[in-house]
Structure 1
Amino acid sequence: MATKKRVVITGLGVIAPNALDIPSFTEAIQNGVSGIQHFPELEALKFSCQVGGVPPVSEEHKRTYFTELQLRNFNSSGILYGVMAGIDAMKDSGLSTKSDRPNWDLGIVFGTGTSGVDKFRESIYKVDNKNVRRLGSTAVAQTMASGISAYLGGMLGAANMVTTNSSACATGTEAVLMGYERIACGKATQMLCGSTSDHGPYLWGGFDAMKVITYKHNDSPTEASRPMSANASGFVPGSGAGALVLESLESAQARGATIYAEILGGHVNSGGQRNGGSMTAPNSEAVQRCIKKALEDSEVLAENIDYINGHLTATSKDPVEIKNWCEALNRRGADFPLINSLKGMVGHCLAASGSVEIVSTILQMHHSFVFPNVNCEDIHPEITQLIAKERIPTKKVSAEINTAIKASFGFGDVNACVIFGKI
């Protein structure tokens, strides 16, 4: 059996509700800066939750990534965010973003939950009004699920595997593992991996109807997302994109690239919507199994995990998630790793959540800090019965993170877990 190649991260990109580039995002998460705001449009539409996280992308900023021709009739925020984060990650890695020939060594796995919701709505109205010929030539590219990977593939000349995955909130973490496996088995040298999510009433309306998003903080948006809090009342919808350049260690070393961290391994599974698992709830047995299998695949002992980047959505399932971590790692009380949730600052970025949160994980490892859990001064009592309060920092702490673990859990009872090591 061929020896697996070691895989490292050499580039990062992020488009988040609280920052549009890596330096700004690093500063924002260190200081607990929220990107959640109130939207009058949602209030006018009688949404119960009228707050959300949307990246503050200006028209001018768009034009640093897209030409005027590309922006003509363009109306897909998910593709916009994904392209921006992806191009930034490539530039950060030092790899070329322009190629006259196909780059056979570069592949893309860039996931999404939906693509071009607003463009699709626009298309429906034009068809219904018998203006089908006015849809434009990019309607299909903007609304097909693989639109994001197709746009990036064309802009970068990527000629290895170029695909889009979709596993609800586990999408971004799964994309990273897919890219990792591609390089580890020697089928690619570099993989651009990440995920993206649209925003707006047509995407968020379903969650509002399900009553899984908070309605209590329309007048105090920065206090709305409260992971692990006793007063958590539902998640806050968010949007954006995260991107990472994965590369074989030998390639990264040969070109003298900055190496942020190594991907040690991971695991993806499903609970089968059995034993408490459902379309919207995780099967705890499957969650624990996913974490344990990730440790096994990475050849990492649970006792050596320094830090957990949780899924932790600010719902009633947060204590259940903490219990699952305790069971899977067999660690409790003061022995539990440091843990936090980015969702307190940016909301739940849905399909983009895994990749945006992985970017935050790598930045914490690289700069030796753990960002604060915002809106979590009143930790849920079921959580403090399991782990010590000091393992849930509410202020930034300096910490040497040699081994970090990230997990994401999505609708459909799907799970993804990845482990990173400092190199």
Structure 2
Amino acid sequence: MKKRVVITGMGVVSPNAIGLTAFEKAIKTGKSGIRFFQELADLNFSCQIGGKPEISEELLKEYFTELQLRGLNASGIKYGVIAGIDAWKDANLKINENEAPDYDSGIIFGTGILGVDKFREAIHLIDEGKTRRLGSTSVIQTMASGISAYLGGMLGCGNQVTTNSSACSTGTEALIMGAERIQNGKANRMLVGSCSDHGPYVWGGFDAMRILPSKFNDNPEKASQPMSANATGFVPGSGAGALVLEEYETAKKRGAKIYAEVLGSSVNSGGQRLGGSMTATNNQAVQRCITEAMKDAKIQANEIDAINGHLTATTKDSVEIENWTKALQRKVENFPIINSLKGMTGHCLSASGSIELVASVLQLKHQFIFGNVNCEEIHPEITELISENKIPKKTISENINILAKASFGFGDVNAVVILKKYDENQA
């Protein structure tokens, strides 16, 4: 028998808010975190806007020592540490100050591109023959596992401490990997999440691909339009999300608050076959990932009340909706309510899954569906598949028992997790 896995803590650093309370308010009110950046204009970017969390030096000092902040350039590490520490504290867990590690607790915290600014600084110093000026933190800021290493040392975790990387699927995959470790009895709790750096050296490649909107530099809050007939590309973003997963009996024993339960999940790849490519999904694989997640969760398609989709505000949004209708065998009025966070935050790349998971769990816990921002005119290919009232434009109260969260990433990789509202009376 697999052990039950519940979510007992969360933290978030999003372009539109930092911290759970502010984030919940932001997604309920449709607050945008997308802004214009003069730096991108000076560098001749076509898309000169993005989603970047606003973090003060005072806030950083609450999480890092002066020594840790010295030469710390990797924005993803800053975001990830804040989100991770907040999630740990939200779960009412104490930071391990003992000499011995906490062998029951581990970390799987993913990223995509980490420490780009530090890489740039290092390249210049090395080329100028000034290697000794690199500092002692250049390696840990630029290695992919830098974020899990920082958090592992801060929290004193002694179970598996590692980093995963699967493009836009990273955060959702991290949760699935952490949940499986607990289900199999290899850990009592896992801090999971993901982070992403910001800035021109991360976003430049996407601008070169011409997949970012370039006509909203004067109106950034309107640029990201998931499921809209007027969608012209995704807005790049950054940040971090974190969740504490815990074995159910362990959580109950210590009297932890429980946000939701992880019922099941699936990860797969389309193999870049059957229409799948480095940047496009194999639709058959997407549908299989959805159905396998339901099978793992032991639920039927008609039990899903809501979907938080990947839905990036590109021409592929209608394809994603079609995949959901085929996998669930539900269409028109029978389709679940669906939403996308990216209208408010942009596409936070490797951080997107974890930030959106936090938003999904908040919806389950507090029984609401946040509105689809900038979706005044739904794409006609989507309205042919599902009813418009399944795509709420404003936040609504809704009874949600089961929610499906999906992330699909470059490289033709997919991740779907099934979450359930926690009810003490039925536990």
What corresponds to 1:99 in structure 2?
A: 97
TM-score by length of 2: 0.98
**Partner-residue secondary structure (3-state), 2:250:** helix
User: For residues 1-20 of structure 1, what are the structure 2 equivalents within 5 Å?
Assistant: 3-20=1-18
Q: Does 1:66 align with 2:64?
A: yes
Supply the distance in 2 between the matched residues of 1:83 and 1:315 (Cα, whole angstroms): 31
Supply the distance in 1 between the matched residues of 2:45 and 2:418 (Cα, whole angstroms): 38
What corresponds to 1:47 in structure 2?
A: 45
Supply the distance in 1 between the matched residues of 2:93 and 2:183 (Cα, whole angstroms): 19
User: For residues 222-233 of structure 1, what are the structure 2 equivalents within 5 Å?
Assistant: 222-233=221-232
What corresponds to 2:354 in structure 1?
A: 355
User: For residues 248-397 of structure 1, what are the structure 2 equivalents within 5 Å?
Assistant: 248-397=247-396
Residue 188 of structure 1: CA displacement? 0.1
Supply the distance in 1 between the matched residues of 2:225 and 2:278 (Cα, whole angstroms): 23
Residue 145 of structure 1: CA displacement? 0.6
**Partner-residue secondary structure (3-state), 2:242:** strand
User: For residues 18-167 of structure 1, what are the structure 2 equivalents within 5 Å?
Assistant: 18-100=16-98, 101-167=100-166
How many residues in Structure 1 have an aligned counterpart in Structure 2?
Answer: 421
Give me the CA root mean square deviation.
0.5
Q: Does 1:245 align with 2:247?
A: no
Tell me if the contact between 2:237 and 2:345 (Cα under 8 Å) persists in the aligned partners. Answer: yes
Amino acid at match of 1:23: T
Deviation string, structure 1 residues 236-269 (Cα, Å, up to 9, x no partner): 0000000000000001100110100000010000
- Post-superposition, which runs of at least 4 consecutive aligned residues in structure 1 deviate over 2 A? none
Residue 114 of structure 1: CA displacement? 1.2
Supply the distance in 1 between the matched residues of 2:313 and 2:97 (Cα, whole angstroms): 44
Supply the distance in 2 between the matched residues of 1:417 and 1:289 (Cα, whole angstroms): 10
Deviation string, structure 1 residues 337-383 (Cα, Å, up to 9, x no partner): 00000000000000000000000000000011000000001000000
The unaligned stretches of length 5 or more in structure 2 are 423-427
Deviation string, structure 1 residues 195-246 (Cα, Å, up to 9, x no partner): 0000000000000000111111000000000000000000000000000000
Deviation string, structure 1 residues 64-113 (Cα, Å, up to 9, x no partner): 00000000111000011000000000000011123222000000000000
Amino acid at match of 1:84: I
Tell me if the contact between 2:96 and 2:102 (Cα under 8 Å) persists in the aligned partners. Answer: no
Tell me if the contact between 2:277 and 2:412 (Cα under 8 Å) persists in the aligned partners. Answer: yes
What corresponds to 1:417 in structure 2?
A: 416
**Partner-residue secondary structure (3-state), 1:111:** strand
Supply the distance in 2 between the matched residues of 1:115 and 1:40 (Cα, whole angstroms): 23
Amino acid at match of 1:33: K
Deviation string, structure 1 residues 375-415 (Cα, Å, up to 9, x no partner): 00100000000000000000110001100000100000000
**Partner-residue secondary structure (3-state), 1:300:** coil
% identical equivalent positions: 65
Supply the distance in 2 between the matched residues of 1:216 and 1:185 (Cα, whole angstroms): 49
**Partner-residue secondary structure (3-state), 2:18:** coil
What corresponds to 2:209 in structure 1?
A: 210
**Partner-residue secondary structure (3-state), 1:406:** strand
Deviation string, structure 1 residues 21-73 (Cα, Å, up to 9, x no partner): 00000000000000000001001100000000000001111100000000011
Supply the distance in 2 between the matched residues of 1:115 and 1:44 (Cα, whole angstroms): 23
Amino acid at match of 1:55: P
Supply the distance in 2 between the matched residues of 1:98 and 1:30 (Cα, whole angstroms): 35
**Partner-residue secondary structure (3-state), 1:46:** coil
